[in-house]
Amino acid sequence: MKQLFVILISIIGLATMAQGQSHDVYATMYYATRGGCTASGSRVVPSKVKSGEHRWVALSRDLFKAGYRMGDTIVVTSANNSFVNGYWVVKDKMAGRRKIDFLVHRSDARKFRNGSVTIRKMDDSDEMVVKDGELIVQNN
């Protein structure tokens, strides 16, 4: 019985660990290719990536151990790379540690710069608003 209790507490702890915590990670990008498929089973459609309908990322496996899950909406902030600021959906996994890979359209490659970003899970206090044509996440 004691082992079951310890296992249950561990599972609950892992599930809530990433909630409210931010993580500094290294950002890279990968291209949308027709017919590609993510680790979540989602089919990549380059035209939807270009339009912004698909804002998907891959996270390194250690971040999944920290509590992130497939399908989570995360908030990304970067002082050096405004292209990635805003919300993204976790749809893929990648190798490495403390890394995030942004799915981008080839035509947007020049807007992207590899570097450090901060990520956190989106929570109930976040509000998405459009300001000057740009989607902004505000934490109330």
Strand partners, 93: 59
* C-alpha–C-alpha distance, residues 73 and 55, integer Å: 10
* C-alpha–C-alpha distance, residues 118 and 27, integer Å: 9
> What pLDDT, in 10s, does the model give residues 14-38?
444 445 799 999 999 999 888 888 9
For residue 133, give the 3-state DSSP assignment: coil
> What pLDDT, in 10s, does the model give residues 47-74?
999 999 999 999 999 999 999 999 999 9
* C-alpha–C-alpha distance, residues 46 and 103, integer Å: 10
Its pTM stands at 0.77
> What pLDDT, in 10s, does the model give residues 106-127?
999 999 999 999 999 998 777 6
User: Does the residue 102 lie in any domain?
Assistant: yes
Q: How many domains does the chain have?
A: 1
User: Does the residue 91 lie in any domain?
Assistant: yes
For residue 25, give the CATH number of its domain. 2.40.40.10
User: Does the residue 1 lie in any domain?
Assistant: no
Sorted by sequence, the CB contacts under 8 Å of residue 5 that are 6+ apart come out as none
